[in-house]
């Protein structure tokens, strides 16, 4: 357990109960997921029930309760992306990484997510690698994107 890291994160938030989502974001950024042991420590330290923490963690897609890869690859399958070949892009990613949606590669390098909209419909089909949106993707382009990481 990494108490020091959690204590440091808590110290950034003078009003902890009103900033629980912000604290969870910091923990997610630090560990790339929300580890149970650290959440239990957080619960005790800020006096918020675990049920409330898990309720938030399960509600927001941004949070993960299982370890995620170093890079998050999101393939959009919203209407515009789907119509313009998003499924073909997804199939290529699954083939290249040898994982399915919501899975992480064995080497912990990539986590694959499918989203319904990236808000980039004019760029369809779009994928997001970490925080960067890539437009007009094709199976060949996504293959090159993966290789670049």
**pLDDT tens, position by position, 4-59:** 999 999 999 988 778 999 999 999 999 999 999 999 999 999 999 999 999 999 99
Q: Nearest-CA neighbor of 74 among 129, 136, 149? A: 129
pTM of the model: 0.77
Tokens 């779009």, located at residue: 126
Q: How far apart are CA 87 and CA 129, in angstroms?
A: 17
Domain-wise residue ranges, the chain: 3-59, 71-147
Cα 39 from chain centre:
18
C-beta of residue 69 within 8 angstroms of C-beta of residue 110: yes
Q: Look up the CATH superfamily of 71-147.
A: Glutaredoxin (3.40.30.10)
């Amino acid at each position: 357990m990494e108490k020091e890291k959690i204590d440091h994160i808590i110290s950034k938030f003078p009003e902890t109960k009103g900033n629980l989502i912000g604290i969870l974001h910091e923990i997610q950024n630090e560990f790339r997921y929300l580890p149970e042991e650290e959440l239990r420590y957080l619960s005790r330290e800020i006096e918020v029930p675990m049920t409330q923490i898990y309720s938030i963690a399960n509600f927001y897609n941004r949070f993960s309760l299982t370890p995620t890869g170093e890079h998050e690859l999101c393939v959009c399958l919203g209407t515009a992306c789907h119509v313009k070949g998003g499924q073909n892009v997804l199939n290529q990613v699954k083939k290249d990484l040898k994982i399915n949606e919501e899975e992480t590669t064995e080497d912990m390098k990539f986590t694959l997510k499918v989203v319904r909209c990236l808000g980039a419909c004019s760029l369809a089909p779009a994928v997001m690698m970490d925080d960067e949106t890539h437009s007009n993707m094709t199976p060949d382009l996504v293959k090159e994107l993966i290789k670049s990481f």
